[in-house]
Structure 1
Amino acid sequence: MADAASRLTALAEELLGEPLPVRIRAWDGSESGPPGAPALVIRRRRALRRLLWKPGELGLARAWVAGEIDVDGNLYEALDHLADLLWDRDADAKAKASPHPVRDPKVRSFVRGLVGLAGPWPPPAPPAEEVRRRTGAIHTKRRDKKAISHHYDVGNDFYELVLGPSMVYSCAYWDEGSTLEEAQRDKLDLVCRKLALKEGDRLLDVGCGWGSMAIHAAREYGARVTGVTLSAEQAAYARKRIAEEGLTDRIEIRVQDYRDVRDGPYDAISSIGMAEHVGSVRYREYADDLYALLRPGGRLLNHQIARRPERDEDAYRIDEFIDAYVFPDGELAPVGRTTATLEEAGFEVRDVEAIREHYALTLRRWVANLEKHWERAVRATSPGRARVWRLYMAASALSFEHNKIGVNQILVVRPEENGAVRMPLRSREWTAAAGD
């Protein structure tokens, strides 16, 4: 077992057919790889058993969450180097990067080498933070509530450390020199201006989170807001903030599924970072429900992460790590499919703004907050949960930067009864700063 790092490096380079771009530091204290590169630290050899049992992303994720592997050095640089293992969905690259018993002699040699290093079987159980395998229909109300609770009910104290005072868990809208709080305020204001909110308007905020959008719309624009969330912890936190702001007469927060909202019509609807939870099998229902809740002439602002289209859409697979540890049952769709479904429901699409680069900046700030407050964050939730969020947010930042995923604000309008839609001739003037 001496010099495990060199043996692992040799095995990986034989499989890949090129030098390993990171250093390996193994459980026996040995180290191998290019000088100055970030180090992949394998603290426990049972991490290799996880990889053998679940080749590819899920095995790596389990070892990361359990604290059996880590990165010493720049996390973004390390993830960039290992991107083929973590993100590349191309079948050839996936087969090249993922050890499994096929006829390829390089893969067979790699597997035999790992077996020799991994130690006695069986592999350890998955970390407690992993969602257990689910069966039955997806995106039922009961199952969606459990999925939302898994992601959001991990402690408001934890989210305060990561998100900062704004308590906004979606892409901010940046300008040169902005702080995170300023960029989140500007995003909320941009949404309000796109919705053309004015004093007394009824706004439905779908997936209202910790109440930031509702508070901004009521305080700055005089709107009367109904916010709905499936997270009891979010709702309690939002109600407390609203009371402190003296806005209880203007804002109601409900623990309610958007499919159960029946008190329309609303003048405007905001859906910010919520539609990713809806799922492809329910997206037309989502669009139909929001259409029915809007008055004729009312506007919906749908702020949603999008993925790149696949050449073979039937072959699209949900990310294993995200599904098991972050967003159970979450799905991303190409922006074209989203706009088409909204149009099929009867909406007219009036504006699509792509703000992909803004989410990369936002995620890097959240990662910096988490790393700055690491010990407090671990105490607020669990070591495994903190590791999940660090990996998820850093990898997502790189995905946005490399245009693997994007985020778009889609503004749609419910036409008047005669089919008309009345909008300003220069509606894009909302991109100017408020008061300009």
Structure 2
Amino acid sequence: MADAALRLTTVAEELLGFPLPVRVRAWDGSESGPPGAPVLVVRHRRALRRLLWRPGELGLARAWVAGEIDVEGDLYAALDLLSGIIWEREEDLAPAVHPVRDPRLRTAARALLRIGGALPPPPPPPEEVRRRSGPLHTRRRDRQAISHHYDVGNGFYEQVLGPSMVYSCAYWSDGGTLEEAQRDKLDLVCRKLALQQGDRLLDVGCGWGSLAMHAAREYGAQVTGITLSREQAAYARKRIAEAGLTDRIEIRVQDYRDVRDGPYDAIASIGMAEHVGQVRYLEYAEQLLTLLRPGGRLLNHQIARRPERNEADYRLDPFIDRYVFPDGELAPLGRTVATLELAGFEVRDVESIREHYALTLRRWVANLEADWRRAVRHSSPGRARVWRLYMAACALAFEHSKIGVNQVLAVRTPHSGDSGLPLRARDWR
């Protein structure tokens, strides 16, 4: 095939109705598109067959993970230029799978068939989670989802996250490092919870133990951390033992629904509620309420999406659902606050730190790219490609306010009405 790149850009531009904003390089070495723009490299025509059978985001994601397409140049610039195309609602280009009414789509499908060939679709890359069935957010299904995301090798996360081993949004100041920003976030959480010597803290979704260690070491708290990831738990216990904090911290492999040893003085849920799901969220909030003493505080740190008119579906987009966070869900901030209050909490403070997550993600991507071979050695080529695309795309989503992240401080206010907060509550600053 001669000049495949020109044929591809012609098909894309006829379908879109405007010039393709990136340059295309095809498997035959041909190039087409605006000079100086980021280059979308189509390494194999299999990528086109993936798009024919699964048009839109999932087809592109499979080609990316398999290494059949790539970006040469600034990944963020390329994703920014393509975001209006890639992340749009999926349109069907495969008449054999679903009927297509738009004649432009039929024309594009025929052209892609001629360029890419009409062979059956390639199997999905092995990193993809198979389509699940049955009820969402059962204990078994949640364990499987958490294992897919977190049990990919602690060495991989050490490289991406850095020494802090904190896998949530950092709290930045001008000129600070990632480690300083993560330390400041952990300290902000502890101060919002007003932790004191001897307080019992429940860390729900404790990850690799970083918040538990900070709360025990700096505030003298007695911490119980729970996670569904056995690899995280083993890593956290080792860190805690090396730091001499085993008398202050207990790490359990345990579902939040099975915690029975309240009351706690404070509960932290940092980047965990996205895994709970709307079908379980009220149950989750009610469970945390019962585990708090009257006057105890909850700090819920959670990613949120923009509200939509149709609020029936909170599921993440197909790429993230299949490759990153199986069964993950993002709710609007208002729904989260309303559910916490419905459960019996009094919400006292909400802080949006959206821009902080964009900065955090860019640092994680830089850590991943700094030693690509090591990242592949600790996981797989496909897994490393998944994380690079996922984190870069999410950084742009935060920067463009497509999604946000918020810290919600809530109290189990006693019957007396005394919340325990000072009149000027934000003295934690």
> What residue in structure 2 maps to residue 328 of structure 1?
326
Q: Report the counterpart of residue 9 of structure 2 in structure 1.
A: 9
Matches within 5 A, 1:23-422: 23-89=23-89, 94-95=90-91, 99-101=93-95, 102-314=100-312, 318-422=316-420
Q: Secondary structure at the match of 1:281?
A: helix
Deviation at 1:419, TM superposition (A): 3.7
Shift of 1:35: 0.4
Q: 1:214-251: per-residue Cα shift (whole Å, max 9, x none)?
A: 00000000000000000000000000100111000000
Counterpart-to-counterpart distance in 2, 1:85 and 1:140: 35
Q: Is the 8 A contact 1:307 1:335 kept in 2?
A: yes
- Letter in structure 2 aligned against 1:240: K
Q: Deviations over 1:401-428 (max 9, x none)?
A: 0100000000000011334322101111
RMSD (Å), alpha carbons: 1.0
Q: For residue 312 of structure 1, report the CA deviation from its aligned partner.
A: 1.9
Shift of 1:120: 4.0
Structure 2 contact 353–405 (Cα < 8 Å) conserved: yes
Q: 1:434 corresponds to which residue?
A: none
Amino acid at match of 1:404: K
Distance (whole Å) between structure 2 residues aligned to residue 78 and residue 286 of structure 1: 39
What letter corresponds to residue 19 of structure 1 in structure 2?
Answer: P
1:100 positional shift: 4.4
Distance 1:193 1:253 in 2: 22
1:103 deviates by 2.5
Aligned residue pairs total 425
Q: Is the 8 A contact 2:315 2:330 kept in 1?
A: no
Contact 1:57 1:85 in 2 (8 A): no
Cα separation, 2, equivalents of 1:100 and 1:362: 39
**Aligned-pair distance for 1:317?**
5.2
Rounded to whole Å, the distance in 2 between the matches of 1:131 and 1:235 is: 23
- Partner amino acid, structure 2, of 1:124: P
| In 1: Cα distance, 2:88 partner to 2:408 partner | 28
- The 3-state SS of whatever aligns with 1:204 is strand
With 74-83 and 405-414 compared, the bigger mean Cα shift is at 74-83
Contact 1:173/1:186, CA 8 A, preserved across alignment: yes
Distance 1:205 1:315 in 2: 28
Deviations 1:189-216 (A, max 9, x none): 0000000000000000000000000000
Amino acid aligned to 1:210: W
Q: Is the 8 A contact 2:353 2:404 kept in 1?
A: yes
8 Å CA contact retained: 1:357, 1:401:
yes
TM-score when normalising by structure 1: 0.96
- CA contact under 8 A between 1:310 and 1:316: conserved in structure 2? no
Query: Aligned partner of 2:258: which letter?
Result: D
CA distance in 1, matches of 2:312, 2:136: 18
What's the % identity of the aligned pairs? 78
Can you give the 5+ residue segments of structure 1 that lack an aligned partner in the other structure? 432-436
